[in-house]
Structure 1
Amino acid sequence: MAPMRAPYWGPPIAVLPLLAREEQALVDVLTGLDPGQWATPTARPGRTVHDLAAHVLGVKLGRLSRDRDGHRVPESPDAAEAWVTACRRLSPEVLFTLLVDSTAQLADHWGRTDLDEPGAPVAWAGPEPAPRWLDAAAEYSAFWTCQQEIREAVDLPLLDAPEFRGPVVDTFMRALPHTLREVEARTGRQVAYTVTGRSGGRWTARREAGGWTLDRAAPTSRSPLAAVTTDADTFWRLSAGLLRPSDVTDRVTLTGDENVCAALLGMTTGL
């Protein structure tokens, strides 16, 4: 099967070298937690550190069952919530052991996967089958986000080095064409999103005959339809749903069409 068309989501993001390092960093964090820290509330309402670790485990086991083993069953809308609730019966020690074991299996699975082949849709990037590199990048970004929330909950430094955070920013930006799907504009009009700092960059969505496409570049238009600029920390928190647009009015610069700017600030990955 031929590789998928790149412009819709932009150029590939290489996260496989980072997966094991991000996961080892999470293991190092969890290793040092006492029972009280496992029970610490996180920024997610109703979610403790234990709950977020259980969520990560559920995603890993689901990936292995579905993609490696071909085990697919219909899931109810509350399946993820039911999983986290059920995992509260597991001790931190048992949960930790399962995480470590599934991490090794998942690394092996991704290493055997052709990332240029199409896979399942990445919901926040559109309903079309997505290239597996985007699926892998979305999974890395979700795990990284959960780890950040765990670190914040137990007062540990964040995993904010550009090598870790940069791919997350780049991945979340791939939601831009789908976010703009209802925006009507003439062919050639552009929308720009700039994230400042060493983890950032510039991305431009361009209206084509078939919809919006994305590229990692500054806009060529002197007057884009809309433009947003913010810092990397604000951007990933907005994208992950940890901040609302009303929380960051002093951290963003907006120009152009107000409705399009509002859509950009409301862009989320549903994590």
Structure 2
Amino acid sequence: MTAQAAPPPRLPRIERALAMRLAEAEYARCADLLAGLEPQQWSAPTANTGWTVRDTAGHMLGMVQVMSSLPQLLGQMSTSMRQARKAKAPVSIDFLTALQVRRNAGLTTAELVQHWRELTPKAVRGRRRLPGLLLRRTLPEAQLVGGRLERWTFGYLTDIILTRDCFMHRLDICAAIGLDPQPAAEHDGLLIDDIVHEWAGRHGHPYTLELTGPAGGAWGTDGERITLDALDFCRRLSGRGEATGLLATAVPF
């Protein structure tokens, strides 16, 4: 039997200028959300096991710190990868996020919001300035998606995943405190359209998808028929909630 060739490292589907506009807009939406939280809402549990809203925000800030400072990038990545190797874990992402939560736990919520507003413009600039040669290179570590290891390019991580991560955690926080995330077609809708196309490419089967709500739309013309809320679609693909049939196809966030 001939061994099946590994798929090429995943590239971003959307072009860079749009990716950076979406990143900037998502950071701004998260800033407004965090700044508007009431004191008691920071301790609400989220869909992320063991994480409160405060923990989630600490991780989100950690990712911003990674892209706004080269020492932070090198320090966080080397520490988490070393911890993963010591634990014989296949990937380091859980160690990275736990490190970010711990390192930002000492901030007051006001300081966290202040750091978010100060660092997100730097993070966008850091992401925008990455050279094309680096963006096309493969990350040194494989990523675990749907129980399988796969390879990503730096461009897929910086242009797509870092924005999706903020987007999904914004939904997590809103769900935890019962707040409407107020999705908009010109922002959330563009993120979701990219997610739908990646999902379709990952499962490779005919489908008819109707996503409801301001950020929804219709895709496909045949195969399994799926109708549900656009944000719920994203939550299920991310592993938050029950997912059967084609919805069981994991997409990274």
Partner of 1:36: 40
2:182 is aligned with 1:159: yes
What amino acid maps onto 1:91 in structure 2?
A: T
Partner of 2:250: 268
2:207 is aligned with 1:195: no
What amino acid maps onto 1:234 in structure 2?
A: D
| Aligned Cα root-mean-square deviation (Å) | 3.4
Number of positions where the alignment pairs a residue of Structure 1 with one of Structure 2 = 221
Partner of 2:165: 142
Q: Is the 8 A contact 2:45 2:51 kept in 1?
A: yes
**How far apart in 1 are the matches of 2:118 and 2:231?**
31
Partner of 2:136: 118
Partner of 1:101: 118
Partner of 1:61: 65
Superposed CA offset, 1:107-129 (max 9, x none): 11122235694143765497234
Cα deviation, residue 241, structure 1: 1.7
Superposed CA offset, 1:175-201 (max 9, x none): 444456xxxxxxxxx533523345233
2:206 is aligned with 1:227: no
Q: Of the candidates 74, 80, 88, which is equivalent to residue 105 of structure 2?
A: 88
- Residue 43 of structure 1 aligns to a residue whose secondary structure is coil
- Residue 60 of structure 1 aligns to a residue whose secondary structure is helix
Q: Is the 8 A contact 1:122 1:135 kept in 2?
A: no
Cα deviation, residue 62, structure 1: 2.6
Q: Is the 8 A contact 2:189 2:216 kept in 1?
A: yes
- Residue 186 of structure 2 aligns to a residue whose secondary structure is helix
Partner of 2:55: 51
Superposed CA offset, 1:70-94 (max 9, x none): 6652252441224324433322122
Change in CA separation of 1:95 and 1:68 when aligned onto 2, cut-off 3 Å: closer
Q: Is the 8 A contact 1:172 1:239 kept in 2?
A: no
With the length of structure 2 as denominator, give the TM-score of the two structures: 0.70
Comparing both structures, which one devotes a greater share of its residues to helix?
2
Greater Cα radius of gyration, structure 1 or 2: 1
Q: Which runs of 5+ in 2 are unaligned?
A: 1-7, 85-91
Cα deviation, residue 69, structure 1: 6.2
Q: Is the 8 A contact 1:118 1:131 kept in 2?
A: yes
What amino acid maps onto 1:38 in structure 2?
A: W
**What is the percentage of aligned positions where both structures have the same residue?**
20
**How far apart in 2 are the matches of 1:195 and 1:138?**
24
Partner of 1:250: none
Q: Is the 8 A contact 1:124 1:178 kept in 2?
A: no
Partner of 1:184: none
- Residue 19 of structure 1 aligns to a residue whose secondary structure is helix
Change in CA separation of 1:58 and 1:228 when aligned onto 2, cut-off 3 Å: farther
- Residue 227 of structure 2 aligns to a residue whose secondary structure is strand
With the length of structure 1 as denominator, give the TM-score of the two structures: 0.66
Q: Is the 8 A contact 1:239 1:267 kept in 2?
A: yes
